[in-house]
Amino acid sequence: MILRLKDNFITDNSLECEEGCYFLLTSQNEKFSKQAQDKHARFIDIKECKRLLNIDENIKLIGITGTNGKTTTAAAIYSILLDLGFKCGLCGTRGAFVNEVQIDEKSLTTQPILKTLAYLSHASEEKCDFFVMEVSSHALVQKRIEGLNFTAKIFTNLTQDHLDFHKTFENYKQAKESFFTDESLKFINKDSAMIKFNVRNCFTYGLENPAYYHVKAYALEEGINALVATKEQKYTIDSSLLGLFNLYNLLAASACVNELVKPKLENLEKAITHFGGVCGRVEKVSEGVIVDFAHTPDGIEKVLDALKNKKLIVVFGAGGNRDRTKRPLMGAVVEHFAKRAIITSDNPRDENPKAIIRDILEGFKDKNRALLIENRKEAIKKALELKEKDDLVVILGKGDENYQEIQGVKYDFNDKIIVKEILNQGK
């Protein structure tokens, strides 16, 4: 990546180096430093890079990590802070935003450090008070957040994912734990599989277990209504979002904002209510049709459990070149909740889609309960054809992604657009 300055540029790629340019030396690229040196680049560290980019070190960084909930929790914090009158930036799975303006498209959950510094430079120009980041386990292992000083950190939950990269669940857990060793403000989900963390400056939150931010009572029939209590305060969460998992997301977000800025509680409650959720997360795209990004056994279970009062027709698959062991677990969860299951392709990448479907099917006790339709568009079409009056079609795995990756090629594909096209053809 190249960042242009007035009379020079910064890069973290030795192949882009020219004589006199700045080469940002990081843990990720240090093995290529000889190439940069041979091209007579000027080496800089992250501290010097921040100075060159005029990054305001007073911007308070908030980092969120966990298997599920990062995107919604980050978006909720961003929305609440903006609603309370603060200037704020955000980066993660959905791209990068500063004060409600999108400044970069969707990409990695956590970008390489130079790209993040570019976001912070933009946030500095816009006089941001806060910047919210999703932090992935990959980024923690690969040190993509080195040199960043976080004011607050949030742990959402921990369930199986990314074992293709981490190899074991313990490695995955340790990656998450590495984010919580310092003395920054921390918010830990007390109801999740626990991780090790530095207890200094730590706040816990939860519903089932004793926690500093504790939900005393809640209802999930029509959206979310909950009473949250600490030792000194009480406030309500009143939201149109669905599901217990979103109550956890809003609890984490509201606790973090409450500790950081100490707002009037009535203003905090209004700001929570104004947050309308995230595109592609339990998003209603047509009457009786929902799309969601859930792509892990735990994520799928949480979404389907939130919708279990409906008769569910579930369309789902699993990503190729990723953890194979979670595929039958996903199948078992869908079989438990669905009136009808349709197994299809997600992003098969370099794998054979039929092989992925077979892996998922292994999780079904009754194999006849699943329809196998490899073509995702045809699978969605079949689900809409099967839908009866009171049924709910739930399309899982891609959310608001706008592509499908097959054999190294990304084809235009968006579940929401496909649904609307099919329904319009039927008119």
Could you list the residues known to form a binding site, using ranges: 66-72, 109-110, 136, 142, 144, 322, 346-349, 397, 401
Q: Which residues participate in the annotated binding site for meso-2,6-diaminopimelate?
A: 322, 346-349, 397, 401
Q: Could you count the other beta carbons within 10 Å of the beta carbon of residue 182?
A: 14
Kindly give, in sequence order, each residue whose CB lies less than 8 Å from that of residue 70, ignoring residues fewer than 6 positions away: 64, 92, 93, 109, 134, 135, 136, 156
How would you classify residue 24: left for phi > 0, otherwise alpha for psi between -120 and 50, otherwise beta?
Answer: beta
Residue with tokens 């030396």: 25
Q: Across the strands, what pairs with 22?
A: 10, 42
3-state helix, strand, coil in the chain (%, to 5): 35, 25, 40
Identity of the residue numbered 237: I
In 3D space, the residue among 154, 164, 215, 217 whose CA is nearest the CA of residue 185 turns out to be 154
Residue with tokens 């995230």: 278
Q: How far apart are CA 399 and CA 277, in angstroms?
A: 13
Residue with tokens 């998922």: 360
Q: Across the strands, what pairs with 341?
A: 314, 370
Residue with tokens 């959905």: 94
Q: How far apart are CA 303 and CA 285, in angstroms?
A: 16
Strands 234-239 and 283-286 turn out to be unpaired
Under DSSP, the state recorded for 349 is B
Residue with tokens 């199986």: 160
Q: Which H/E stretch holds residue 409? A: strand 409-412
Q: How far apart are CA 221 and CA 365, in angstroms?
A: 31
Token code pair at residue 228:
């949250």
Q: For residue 121, what are the CA distances in angstroms to 13, 78, 98, 116?
A: 19, 18, 11, 9
Q: How far apart are CA 395 and CA 310, in angstroms?
A: 14
Strand order across the beta sheet in which 9-11 lies: 2-4, 9-11, 22-24, 42-44
Q: How far apart are CA 186 and CA 154, in angstroms?
A: 6
